[in-house]
């Protein structure tokens, strides 16, 4: 696990976008795993700038999203489908056949999980997976206690996760109870992982990731067993990380 400390959210977004653009430049048909939430928004804005300056060609990439709320119509304002259309697919002019999200509105969610896994396998797997970090250490919607060998599955969202995401809804009651998420092993099968962490809200989770044990009680800790993980974190998120731990992960 390699740590890249940056000053703030903007520097993180610029650096992350540069790394994604470099990957696509070196491999135009890259399969990218994409995240939602507040963390990657700046990265997507920077990718739009890179694209508008003609410095990257995204016409041959394939994308898979980590997760989607269940029991929500695709065009709901707070669905991840809507988030991705507005923040990534339209700005980068990606075609429908290039992009994939779990269908949280599917009648048979278990069948949808199987379909999603099959589709990922058909494309040869994910070359680079973008991740945010949940405050309780969740990655995607894999909550604490999720098996490290889990594949795409339906999850019951924990109250803390629903509360953390309620800021995007009019009320907590509107936040779905379930979601469809790539499993932890689906994520760790990616050939490269880019974990983005900024802000004071994530400092405890980042400290636990860097200094804690590998344990299913903290899903993100699985990343310490992966051979190609880069963590980009800003000063606020790194507040409590000791100089010794910084040296260990940046050396």
Q: Which residues are catalytic?
A: 67, 136, 138, 143
CB of 135 to ligand GLP, least distance (A): 7
C-beta neighbour count of 27 within 10 angstroms = 13
Give the DSSP H/E element, type plus range, for residue 5.
strand 2-6
Give the DSSP H/E element, type plus range, for residue 82.
helix 80-84
Q: Is 222 in the site for ligand GLP (CB under 6 A)?
A: no
Task: Give the DSSP per-residue string, 137-206.
Answer: S-BTTB-TT--TT--SEEEE--HHHHHHHGGGSSSGGGS-SEEEE--HHHHHTSS-EEEEE-SGGGHHHH
CB of 233 to ligand GLP, least distance (A): 13
Which region, left, alpha or beta, applies to residue 155 given φ > 0 means left and ψ of -120 to 50 means alpha?
beta
CB of 199 to ligand GLP, least distance (A): 8
Cα separations in angstroms, 182 against 21, 67, 157, 203, 231? 23, 6, 14, 25, 20
Q: State both tokens at 74.
A: 């695709």
Question: For ligand GLP, which is the closer residue by CB, 235 or 248?
Answer: 235
Nearest CA to 138 out of 117, 157, 114 is that of 157
Q: Is 65 in the site for ligand GLP (CB under 6 A)?
A: no
Q: Is 42 in the site for ligand GLP (CB under 6 A)?
A: no
| Number of residues located near ligand GLP, criterion CB under 6 A | 13
CB of 178 to ligand GLP, least distance (A): 12
The one among 13, 30, 36, 186 contacting ligand GLP by CB under 6 A: 36
Q: State both tokens at 218.
A: 């903290």
Question: For ligand GLP, which is the closer residue by CB, 10 or 248?
Answer: 10
CB of 193 to ligand GLP, least distance (A): 12
Q: Is 176 in the site for ligand GLP (CB under 6 A)?
A: no
Interface of this chain with ligand GLP, residues 96 to 135, rule: CB under 6 A? 132, 134
Torsion angles phi and psi, residue 179, rounded to 5? -150, 165
Interface segment toward ligand GLP; rule CB under 6 A; list 22-30, 32-40, 121-129, 237-245: 32-40
Q: Whose CB is nearest to ligand GLP?
A: 132
Interface of this chain with ligand GLP, residues 130 to 169, rule: CB under 6 A? 132, 134, 140-141, 161, 165
What is the binding site for ligand GLP (CB under 6 A)? 35-39, 66-67, 132, 134, 140-141, 161, 165
């Amino acid at each position: 696990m390699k740590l890249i400390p940056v000053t703030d959210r903007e520097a993180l977004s610029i650096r992350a976008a540069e790394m994604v653009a470099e990957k696509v430049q070196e491999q135009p048909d890259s399969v990218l795993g994409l995240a939602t939430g507040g963390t990657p928004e700046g990265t997507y804005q920077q990718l739009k700038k890179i694209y508008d300056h003609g410095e990257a060609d995204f016409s041959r990439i394939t994308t898979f999203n980590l997760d989607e709320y269940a029991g929500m119509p695709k065009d709901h304002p707070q669905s991840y489908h809507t988030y991705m259309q507005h923040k990534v697919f339209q700005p980068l002019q990606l075609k429908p056949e290039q992009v994939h999200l779990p269908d949280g509105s599917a009648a048979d969610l278990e069948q949808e999980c199987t379909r999603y896994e099959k589709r990922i396998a058909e494309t040869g797997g994910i070359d680079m997976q973008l991740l945010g970090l949940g405050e309780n250490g969740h990655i995607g919607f894999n909550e604490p206690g999720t098996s490290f060998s889990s594949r795409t599955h339906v999850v019951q969202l924990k109250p803390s996760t629903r509360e953390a995401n309620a800021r995007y809804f009019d009320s907590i009651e509107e936040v779905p109870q379930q979601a469809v998420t790539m499993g932890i092993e689906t994520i760790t099968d990616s050939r490269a992982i880019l974990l983005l962490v900024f802000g004071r809200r994530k400092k405890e989770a980042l400290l636990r990731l860097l200094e804690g044990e590998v344990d299913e009680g903290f899903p993100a800790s699985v990343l310490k067993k992966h051979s190609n993980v880069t963590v980009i974190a800003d000063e606020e998120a790194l507040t409590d990380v000791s100089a010794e731990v910084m040296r260990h992960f940046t050396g």
